[in-house]
Structure 1
Amino acid sequence: MKDRFLQFFRKVYHLKDKIAFFPTIISLAGCAFAYIMMYAENQGISKYLIEFFPQLVINNTETARNILTTFIGGLISIMVFSFSMVMILLNQASSNFSPRLLPGLISNRKHQIILGIYIATILYCIFILVFIEPSGNKYQLPGFSVLWSIIFMVFSLGSFIYFIHSISQEIQIEFIMKRISSTAHKKLQNLLDLEKDKEFNFPDTSNWIEFKSKETGYFQDVSIKLLKEISLHNDCRLEIVSHKGTLCYKGEVLFKIEKELDEKNTDKIYKAFDFSNDEFIEDNYLIAFKHLKEIALKAMSPGINDPGTAMNAIDYLHELFKLRIIKQEKDFIFEEEECIILLHIVAFEDLIYKVMASLRTYCKHDVIVVKKMLLFLKDLKTYTSKEDKIEIINKEIENLLVDARIAITNKTDLQKLQDI
């Protein structure tokens, strides 16, 4: 039962990032409220309010119909415009920045909620319009329900104004980079807090029982809560061999277990792994390094030629690397000061090499951008006292200078870089 619930929860977790998830939920809520109001009208709520609060009730059939039809037509136009703006945002982000940014933009919850408010209001107005019957002596117009449609319309107009404000920010690359950086910064800081004042002792796992991947896919996340539960219940430790965010091929070692478990428990461990093509920084902070790097590369391409954006992306990478350099090279999960789960992560050396190799290839001809990268690497050395990491940074500085000497021919520019 718990396994089924976990699978259901994981499906819902991925659905919430789809552009249609929240609009569907809010639309159903609008339909449900329309039926509630129909029931209240059948109980005579409008007739009661006319006697005591006549100002709250619209009691003219033609006026009510005109209001509802106007609202429906107007909201459809607003919704089409808003959806067009979202498509423009996605197209611009894909062409000018990086197509990998699209999942994060599509999963913007604010825009999904606003779209849901539009659809819910349209559906509510349609249901109330259908509920209006031809006038008769014993018929009471659902005037109070029409009043609610006016309230929803005012709320929808307010949402539209907020949407224009929000979309004007979302389309700015500076806002996108800041959102990427802040999300990854928060994730990294949480991991550093978990490592604080902890001793990392984990036994040799070379003789542990290996379990291989049953499918080929991108390993994006794993349920730590479920793994802890299995580990504590069976009094065994686990090692997650595959790196989050990497392509895991079928037949590769996925995880190791300290001792043999029954098939039921091993199936639970397999179900804890999440394979998906969508990349979300909330699941893996390394995605932020990839996105910021690709934004800088796109900005330095001949078609875009925007060194300012590239330097801003390097600044955000600088902030993230300041946290990553002081982080341990592996993730450990503790229970009462005892390490029970080991997770392998991309090493600092591999991470900074992948970022710098791409940046120096596309930016080596621009002396200002190269200077920015040199200052970034020089400052990064002040955040660690470990000789091995300082040596890694020195190696990247030398690689950058080698490429710069080939691409930059001006002696004055080269001397300024050497002085740094």
Structure 2
Amino acid sequence: MDWNRWYSLKSYLRSSLWTVPLIAVAIYAVVKPVAEMVGRWMVRQGALDPKTGLLGLSMSGARSLLGDIVSADLAFLVFTFASLLVAIQVAGGQYTPRIIATTLLRDNIIRSISGLFVFTLLFANRTQGWMGEEEVHQLQVLITALFGFASVVAFLFLIDYAAKSLRPVSLVARVGEQGVAVIESVYPAPTTGVTTPPEHDKERCAPDRVVRQRGKSGIVLAVNLEMLVTKARRADIVIEFVPQVGDLVAVDEPLFYLYGKSGVVDESRLRTLVAFGTERTIEQDPMFAFRILVDIALKALSAAINDPTTAVLAIDQLHRLLRMVGKRSLHIEEILDRSGRVRVILRTPNWEDFVHISFREVRQYGAGSIQIARRLRAAMENLIETLPGHRHEALRIELALLDRAIAVEHPFPEDLALARIADSQGLGGSATSTADN
């Protein structure tokens, strides 16, 4: 299987709720025959009395217990999937639709509990149908009872977990954790403070060959950089990946620029090193984590929802991610081989891009809220204090724009003075005014 197909398949399976229940069906198909064979062997060896057994249940008692477990697990499954559909609608409407595939459908706890319900339902149903008129399969009944008890506990835990995970603070925190992981993988090196442009920007020339997108349009999900470097080294050329991860690439748009003697390069093999999809994912796209958090903040600041406190929670995570990005080297456009020669050119967001997406739209929609203005100021001032000097200019520009925006939004001097105070809680925290009195 080509790399791009394998990556797309993995991404699809990770965001699909049905995969773990399907695995549970496969586990049931293996465990059930083994349990039946062990039960028969224990009866033949005299280690298990088929009448009193481990639970001491009669035929009617065993059938009643199994029937109750089947009914309970069926109800648990219906409730779980119905609740999940409601949660998806609420999250998409109140927060952002982009949170569904990246967070809700990738929740392994929900998927694992669903798998437990499916396994228990199948095991209990099979045990109930397999029992004869006189013999109670005590080992199978015991196993079913244990899984039934586990299902009840898991169901009660799921209700509590789902209620807590749908809170705004939980959702934005999970997006923040995903953002931290992708930033660490995409930008592993600390910043050096050097801002010289890459060599390919200084001496850019016309490419010797252009590889265009074929098949169908799609959003770039990921690129196999290691294989690109290998192909470029073998052909002794430089490969430039034209779009950026997260971009939509239409058919016949440039996908690669090849520099050097590129006649031996197979275009179709190059295309297999790029994974496309219908929706952005976070794995190689650090900007998407920022986009989700900003969308949550903008939705919270809309007139329909009017929840600036949720927007503050999103700004908390944006502040956290910006601090992390600001301490890392963002100039990885030129990827070298082992000999130190440039082999692959890949465009990535720069510091100004991250600053703009974090503050511009939130300021435009939230400058009229004193709470948002104070939290934005606290984030900007803290970043100026904690990040290296070459990161300050973009932050100072945003701070000046914030001052101009709140001067327009707050005509009363008292409100304006309050809005100019940096507060990490928006309103209610300990703050020191930076305004001139």
Length-normalised TM-score, structure 1: 0.87
Corresponding residue for residue 423 of structure 2: none
Correspondence 1:245-394 to 2 at 5 A:
245-261=246-262, 265-326=266-327, 327-336=329-338, 338=340, 339-382=342-385, 383-386=387-390, 389-394=391-396
CA contact 1:31–1:124 (8 Å) conserved in 2: no
Taking only the aligned residue pairs, the percentage that are identical comes to 18
1-structure distance, mates of 2:42, 2:280: 50
Q: Hey, what's the Cα distance between the residues in 1 that align with 2:354 and 2:346?
A: 16
Of 21, 43, 46, the residue aligned with 1:46 is 43
* Inter-CA distance 167–258: structure 2 relative to 1 (3 Å threshold): same
Which shifted more, 164-173 or 246-255?
246-255
What amino acid sits opposite 2:88 in the alignment? L
Equivalent residues in 2 for 1:1-400, closer than 5 Å: 3-4=1-2, 7-8=5-6, 10-41=8-39, 44-48=41-45, 49-50=47-48, 55-56=53-54, 60-103=58-101, 104-135=103-134, 140-194=135-189, 202-203=199-200, 204-208=203-207, 209-214=209-214, 215-261=216-262, 265-326=266-327, 327-336=329-338, 338=340, 339-382=342-385, 383-386=387-390, 389-400=391-402
1:391 Cα shift?
3.1
Letter in 2 for 1:45: M
Distance 1:158 1:333 in 2: 51
Query: Residue 101 of structure 1 contacts residue 291 of structure 1 at CA under 8 Å; is this kept in 2?
Result: yes
After alignment, is 54-63 or 176-185 more displaced? 54-63
Give structure 1 stretches of 5+ with no counterpart.
none
Deviation of 1:311 (Å): 1.6
Partners of 2:157 and 2:238 in 1: CA distance: 50
Displacement over 6 Å in runs of 4+: 196-201
Q: Distance in 2 between matches of 1:282 and 1:96?
A: 24
Distance 1:335 1:158, change over 3 A: farther
Contact kept in structure 2, 1:27 and 1:117, CA below 8 Å = no
Deviates more, 1:300-309 or 1:344-353: 344-353
- Which structure shows the higher helix fraction? 1
Structure-1 separation of matches of 2:148 and 2:128: 14
Could you say what secondary structure the match of 1:282 adopts?
A: coil
Paired AA for residue 384 in structure 1? P
| Distance in 2 (alpha carbons) for counterparts of 1:63 and 1:322 | 62
Would you say the 8 A contact 1:184–1:320 is kept in 2? yes
The alignment of Structure 1 onto Structure 2 pairs a total of residues equal to 411
Cα root mean square deviation, aligned:
2.9
